[in-house]
Amino acid sequence: MSPPPADAASAHTAGVRQLVSSYRAIPPHAPVRLAKRTSNLFRARARNNAPGLDVSGLTGVISIDPEARTADVAGMCNYSDLVEATLAHGLSPLVVPQLRTITLGGAVTGLGIESASFRNGLPHESVLEMDILTGTGEVLTASRTEHPDLFRAFPNSYGTLGYAVRLRIELEPVAPFVALTHLRFETLPELVAAMDQIVATGAHDGRPVDYLDGVMFSPGESYLCLGAQTNECGPVSDYTGQQIYYRSIQQKETDRLSIADYLWRWDTDWFWCSRAFGAQNPRIRRLWPKRFRRSSFYWKLVALDQRHDIGDRIERRRLTRPPAPLRERVVQDVELPIENTVDFLTWFAENVPIEPVWLCPLRLRDADGWPLYPIRPRHTYVNIGFWSSVPAGPAPGHTNRRIETRIAELGGHKSLYSEAFYSRAEFDALYGGNAYRMVKTAYDPDSRLLDLYGKAVRRQ
């Protein structure tokens, strides 16, 4: 790899020193956390005013090697900055999660997915090596041959085995445009059969498919969105203004986007979640500044609500009678074996009043799998994402618990960025408990970092 620019390399070195210094400043018996106010997590966290790890110097792209098609990236670099740097070379990360604010380190330790995952797996599978700050305060380089136990257990550990300081990742060449085809299905079995065939062949009707995801608006109206890279110039759509991307899927059989706009097509309206803030109302949208139509701003609104309980305070002060019914937040991404996808979607549509839902197929690249998220290699799974709220049930977490049970019955897993209610035994069986404890003991013997079950389920 060619040497990185001196300023980027020196800035990263200084950022690592700053990080290690902040670790040493944390009292020995205090938990170690990141000193940052923002988060892409949708589960509550315990409030903590203790000093944290200073990662402010670890936000940039360190270097890019266009010939080797690799990049060295600081752990807190967000994908927006990473993609901007790689596209300048006609390259892209193998998998680019949907939202600009997601960091590379976060996608690796917390899992990520996108429409290239049916051919490129998950973001951590394109990592060649990582520098990780462990619970002992050491910065270790981990790869498939160096500290391989830490390297393989790091995905889905959510910062409980350490924090990625630097990651070297693979890149792939990309064309400047993406041509889209939207296939409509009136039954779920037909959609899943078509998805399975495209994943197996990498093509549809004899034409290559580079990107594949879908949307279920209802069991009788669902779509697959097929993307093909192209160098052919021509008009492109713009969904950063008044038009809304997910509505175009219902309205257009074909479409074209620049590669950058394709990678961020879901960010402008946070999939469809911007409607909760009124941003899809045409009258409001015309007045809503364009710079605030993006996931980073919606995150700020959510964080403000969580910090000050704005929604609950409004409800308590309502003068109307009867009072509005209580709501349960249901924000989840789950992975189901493709053969069980129709069963789950049918059950979900009958029992959970949320629509639309996102569909994204994936296959692991690594033949050995990953211990903390043990889905089967060489097998197709479908990520199903649903993000909204439902009427509250008879007990806290009623709908989320029902979903957890149904997922387990169908051989699936769910991402841990949101609320979870598993018992310790259930959690260990689903998320590699034995493997996790062995690596935890080796690299965090004094339990300076949080425990994964405590963080994901007990909300520590």
pLDDT digits (tens, 9 = 90+) for 181-213: 999 999 999 999 999 999 999 999 999 999 999
- pLDDT at residue 370, rounded to an integer: 96
Q: Do residues 152 and 211 share a domain? A: no
Q: Do residues 111 and 208 share a domain? A: no
| Domain edge (last residue) among 267, 292, 317 | 292
Of 349, 375, 361, the C-alpha closest to 155 is 375
Q: 């927006």: which residue's tokens?
A: 80
Of 212, 215, 211, 126, the C-alpha closest to 177 is 211
Q: Do residues 119 and 231 share a domain? A: no
Q: Do residues 213 and 258 share a domain? A: yes
Q: Do residues 217 and 249 share a domain? A: yes
In a domain, 412, yes or no: no
Q: Do residues 170 and 181 share a domain? A: no
Whether the full predicted model's pTM is greater than 0.85, yes or no, is: yes
In a domain, 222, yes or no: yes
In a domain, 88, yes or no: yes
In a domain, 225, yes or no: yes
| Domain edge (last residue) among 292, 308, 333 | 292
| Neighbouring residues of 279: CB distance < 8 A, sequence distance ≥ 6 | 269, 285, 288, 293, 298
| Neighbouring residues of 368: CB distance < 8 A, sequence distance ≥ 6 | 152, 377
Q: How many CA atoms does the CB half-sphere of 113 hold within 13 Å?
A: 22
Domain membership of residue 258 as a residue range: 177-292
In a domain, 101, yes or no: yes
pLDDT tens sequence across 383-410: 999 999 999 999 999 999 999 999 999 9
| Domain edge (last residue) among 292, 319, 352 | 292
Q: Which residues of the chain have pLDDT under 50?
A: 2, 310-320
- pLDDT at residue 303, rounded to an integer: 67
**What is the four-CA torsion angle of 413, 417, 423, 428, rounded to 10 degrees?**
60
In a domain, 401, yes or no: no
Q: Do residues 137 and 164 share a domain? A: yes
Q: Do residues 77 and 216 share a domain? A: no
Q: Which residues of 184-194 are buried (b: 16+ CB within 10 A; e: fewer)?
A: ebeebeebbeb
- Measured CA to CA, the distance from residue 420 to residue 202 in angstroms comes to 35
What CATH number is attached to the domain comprising 139?
3.30.465.10
Q: Do residues 189 and 121 share a domain? A: no
- pLDDT at residue 11, rounded to an integer: 92
C-alpha angle 110-112-114 in degrees, rounded to nearest 5 = 175
Q: Do residues 148 and 30 share a domain? A: yes
What is the Cα Rg of the chain in Å? Answer: 22
- Measured CA to CA, the distance from residue 96 to residue 116 in angstroms comes to 8
- pLDDT at residue 315, rounded to an integer: 42
φ, ψ of residue 250 in degrees (nearest 5): -80, -20
- pLDDT at residue 301, rounded to an integer: 79
In a domain, 413, yes or no: no
Q: Do residues 82 and 215 share a domain? A: no
Contact between 135 and 449 under an 8 Å Cβ cutoff? The reply is yes
Q: How many domains does the chain have?
A: 2
In a domain, 381, yes or no: no
Q: Do residues 189 and 160 share a domain? A: no
